[in-house]
Amino acid sequence: DAEITQSPRHKITETGRQVTLACHQTWNHNNMFWYRQDLGHGLRLIHYSYGVQDTNKGEVSDGYSVSRSNTEDLPLTLESAASSQTSVYFCASSESRDPIYGYTFGSGTRLTVV
Amino acid sequence: QKEVEQDPGPLSVPEGAIVSLNCTYSNSAFQYFMWYRQYSRKGPELLMYTYSSGNKEDGRFTAQVDKSSKYISLFIRDSQPSDSATYLCALSEVQGAQKLVFGQGTRLTINP
């Protein structure tokens, strides 16, 4: 069965370190998204991609970067981790730009920056 | 002002009750309205969608959109303990990218 997987599920890192969160989908979806979820803010868009070599900034992109070298993967990199980036990170993918098809989400990565 | 406002709750009701969950929004360009359900420590999953104003029913769930008031609702009839989850509204504009804007989510508990 097709799926979208995130790794690791939990990560503790130190302030200033570079961290990469993995997202891999086997749906063959062109569209992929990274969100962070925080109490009081809900889900906020970090970066998104509509295909290989395409990346775009979302609402809260400062301090984050992504690259899309193939259809299946969209890794999220925190260049220099900060305590404000402690959050739960969700990757999602979608088949179509038509919003009625919705997103398929991974199970999330809980990141703690100490 | 946030584009989408949703009361985070928590909301606790007895089994069998009718539940009403709501979101308000400020961007009149939103045309697609969705509800996602998120169980604890899981990613959200699409529950229902509606396009423009009106009602849509799917089993025990009814989604309602009032574009004139910029107000959307999700009703759950005969609520079950398995409905206990966080419910997020998500909105999208018609043109261009399929970028969803999410509400904060309302945490719902159905008590047996």
- Residue B36, pLDDT > 60, answer yes
* B98 contacts A99? CB cut-off 8 A: yes
Residues in chain A within 8 Å Cβ distance of B102: 35, 42-44
**Cβ-defined contact of B44 to A58 (cutoff 8 Å):** no
Distance CA A12, CA A113 (A): 6
The pLDDT of residue B44: 95
* Confidence at B29, pLDDT banded by 50, 70, 90: confident
Decide the pairing of beta strands A87-94 and A76-78.
Answer: unpaired
What is the Cα–Cα distance from B20 to A92, expressed in whole angstroms?
Answer: 27
Give the per-residue pLDDT at A97. 73
A95 to chain B: nearest residue by CA?
A: B98
Contact A99 B100 (CB under 8 A): yes
Please report which confidence band the pLDDT of residue B94 belongs to, taking 50, 70 and 90 as the band edges: low
Give me the residues paired with residue B106 across strands. Answer: B87
Kindly list the residues from chain A whose CB atom is less than 8 angstroms away from the CB atom of residue B42.
Answer: 107-108
Q: Which residues of chain A register pLDDT less than 50?
A: none
- Taking 80 as the threshold, does the pLDDT of residue B95 lie above it? no
The residue behind tokens 């100490």 is A114
Determine the Cα–Cα distance for residues B105 and B6; give it in Å rounded to an integer: 6
Other beta carbons within 10 angstroms of residue B28's beta carbon come to 10
- CA distance linking residue B110 with residue B77, whole number of Å: 12
